[in-house]
Homo-oligomer: A and B are copies of this chain.
Amino acid sequence: MPGFMKRVSKTAGLVPGALVYVGEEKTGKPKITVIDYDEKGFQEKEIASVEECFPFKETPTVTWVNIDGIHDTEVIEKIGRHFNLHPLTLEDIVDTGQRPKYEDLEQYIFIVLKMLYCEEGTCDITVEQVSMILADNYVISFQEKEGDVFNVVRDRIRNAKGRVRKMGADYLAYSLLDAVVDGYFLILEKMGDRIEDMEETLVNNPDPAVLETIYGLKQDTIFLRKSVWPLREVVNGLTRGESDLIRKETHAFLRDVYDHTIQVIETIETFRDMVSGMLDIYLSSISNKMNEVMKVLTIIATIFIPLTFIAGIYGMNFNPENSPYNMPELNWRFGYLGAWGVMLLVALGMLIYFKRKKWL
């Protein structure tokens, strides 16, 4: 659960609006790329200093500024000053402990999202905060580190694929949102696979390691829930369409993202139910196994303990010479065989009893 509680010790007690980066230590300049396009033209460049992207603010074309790396609060501050962002917006951008949220500040819409990745191999889930500023003709997006999740959008702009080049900044913001939500499906797919694997193990060969995996899955669903639930309000806020920044044509697309978000949430809930069902089954199957172990012990012990007792009887050393009542059986012709006979009868009786109890 990375980033759960990081916020605290660094920012508690600070002036509201103070910019404090709370993520992992990092150095190096953030990478800033600008893509500027309209239906006819398109240019893309990586810029060295923030100031280079300021001129684009005034152009009628759609501008997308993407900042990879939010640890350099000076850059964020400059952008904030130039694009006229509220101090609390800036605080939220660098505070990676934020929950997904949507805020309509009239001049611009501010969106915070959580991007989820599945680590290669282990499939531990890591989380990255993505913020977006959507204004009339530009979008500014902030990522914690370089990632390839927005590449599909970049490609579409470059190749004028789909309708992205024909539409405004709101459609661009939608495309980025869609890319993030699509990422959730990949996580869900992998979780689904793990659950299916688990189900088979559970039925065929439940062992204590299962427990740890179930626990891991449970924690993952709790974590996913926490990350994705607020997204519903975010997308819903956009869909309600109360802001002028979102054109009418884009609403159908936003509703589509909303449907996907609901689908993600429902799938998480389903996973939760399934995982908690698996725990019940696991507990039952442990009980079952213990029951079986107990039965084996009981059968063996219950058959042999009486037999051992009988053998013990005739191992006693009472002296037959001193008294005719002292173990006369020892001198009978068929004493030994008789003893065996009794023992076999006892064993047989027990077996029949167990058979009837359905323990065998």
What residues of chain A have their CB less than 8 Å away from a CB belonging to chain B? 1, 4-5, 7-9, 11-18, 86, 88, 91, 97-99, 101, 103, 105, 152, 156, 161-163, 175, 178-179, 182-183, 185-186, 188-189, 192, 196, 203, 205, 208, 211-212, 214-215, 218-219, 222-223, 226, 230, 252-253, 255-256, 259, 262-263, 266-267, 270, 273-274, 277, 279-291, 293-298, 300-302, 304-309, 311-319, 322-323, 325-327, 329-337, 339, 358-359
Contacts and interface: CB of A to CB of B under 8 A. Distances in A.
16 contacts: A1-B196, A7-B185, A12-B186, A13-B179, A86-B252, A103-B255, A211-B285, A214-B281, A293-B294, A297-B297, A297-B301, A297-B302, A304-B306, A314-B316, A314-B317, A315-B315
Contacts of A290: 287, 290-291, 294
Nearest to A148: B13
Contacts of A305: 300-301, 304-305, 308
B306 A99 contact: no
Given A283-B283, A309-B311, 11 more contacts: A5-B189, A14-B152, A16-B175, A211-B288, A311-B313, A315-B317, A316-B336, A316-B339, A318-B335, A318-B336, A325-B334
B297 A16 contact: no
B284 A8 contact: no
A315 B7 CA distance: 75
Of listed A279, A283, A318, A326, residue having the most chain B CB within 10 A: A318
